[in-house]
Amino acid sequence: MAASAAVTANYVLKPPPYPLDALEPHMSKQTLEFHWGKHHRAYVDNLKKQVLGSELEGKPLEHIIQNSYNNGDLLPPFNNAAQAWNHEFFWESMKPGGGGKPSGELLALLERDFTSYEKFYDEFNAAAATQFGAGWAWLAYADNKLKVVKTPNAVNPLVLGSFPLLTIDVWEHAYYLDFQNRRPDYIKTFMNNLVSWEAVSSRLEAAKAASA
């Protein structure tokens, strides 16, 4: 999903682009069933209820996110809207047989902006591991540069003025069934086995086009 894609008026719980058991053994079917089937579904359902009859009804999801972010003084729809967006972005950030090092232009840019893939890996890991409480870690693009960002709760780079390229959910519900308290193990598994660099590349192309 490109960062600039318009979203239809009906807020939809889109299924991940793979069956719920396809990420095993790295992320269990049970996790997907709860994380997508309960948590993500609740954000979408509650958002629909929340905007019904309001001036936000029917507006694109990204519009609702920016509007309700309200420069950090969050309005009620923000949590549901941003979390609905974040989770769809998260499923699409992963793929079966993913992970490892990217190649081509993406690798070149990571090496340019982080010195090496390993330095990027460490920085992304550290951001995900040190986000206090609930939140997300991101690879983002802004001012023709790649950077790692961590955000609390539902906040995402859209409201911080940059293009999200990759994310990992570090709310405890994302990893508790498979890893319990071991967030660092979850992050490593995500990096080594789940990241869809194809998705990251296509998002980067869209971001560059949008910035041109």
Stretch that binds other proteins, among 36-44, 96-104, 115-123, 158-166 (CB under 8 A): 36-44
Report 69-88 residues binding other proteins (CB under 8 A): 79
Provide, rounded to whole angstroms, the least separation between the CB of residue 171 and other proteins. Answer: 7
Stretch that binds other proteins, among 17-25, 37-45, 109-117, 201-209 (CB under 8 A): 37-45
Of the pair 34, 117, the CB lying nearest other proteins is at 34
Chosen residue from 25, 97, 100, 152 binding other proteins by CB under 8 A: 152
Task: Give CA separation, 27 vs 49, 74, 178, 186, 205, in Å.
Answer: 31, 32, 7, 9, 28
The dihedral formed by the CA atoms of 89, 152, 209 and 106, expressed in degrees to the nearest 10: -80
Q: Does residue 211 bind other proteins (CB under 8 A)?
A: no
Q: Does residue 160 bind other proteins (CB under 8 A)?
A: no
Strand partners, 137: 150, 168
Map residues 92-131 to x or -, x wherever contact with other proteins holds by CB under 8 A: ----------------------------------------
Q: Does residue 27 bind other proteins (CB under 8 A)?
A: no
Task: Give CA separation, 130 vs 87, 113, 125, 174, in Å.
Answer: 20, 21, 9, 16
The answer to whether the annotation marks 35 as part of a ligand binding site is: yes
Q: How far apart are CA 186 and CA 167, in angstroms?
A: 13
The answer to whether the annotation marks 26 as part of a ligand binding site is: no
Q: Number of C-alpha atoms within 13 angstroms, CB side, residue 108?
A: 4
Report 39-68 residues binding other proteins (CB under 8 A): 39, 42
Three-state DSSP class for 148?
A: strand
The answer to whether the annotation marks 173 as part of a ligand binding site is: yes
Q: Which helix (H) or strand (E) holds 160?
A: none
Stretch that binds other proteins, among 61-69, 94-102, 171-179, 203-211 (CB under 8 A): 171-179
Strand partners, 169: 136
Residue 153 Ramachandran class (φ > 0 left, ψ -120 to 50 alpha, else beta) = left
Chosen residue from 46, 153, 192, 201 binding other proteins by CB under 8 A: 153
- Comparing C-alpha atoms, which of 124, 121, 145, 118 is closest to residue 136? 124
- Binding-site annotation: residue ranges: 35, 87, 169, 173
Which residues of the shown chain bind other proteins in the complex (CB under 8 A)?
34, 38-39, 42, 79, 132-135, 152-154, 171-173, 176-177, 180-181
Which residues belong to the annotated binding site for Mn(2+)?
35, 87, 169, 173
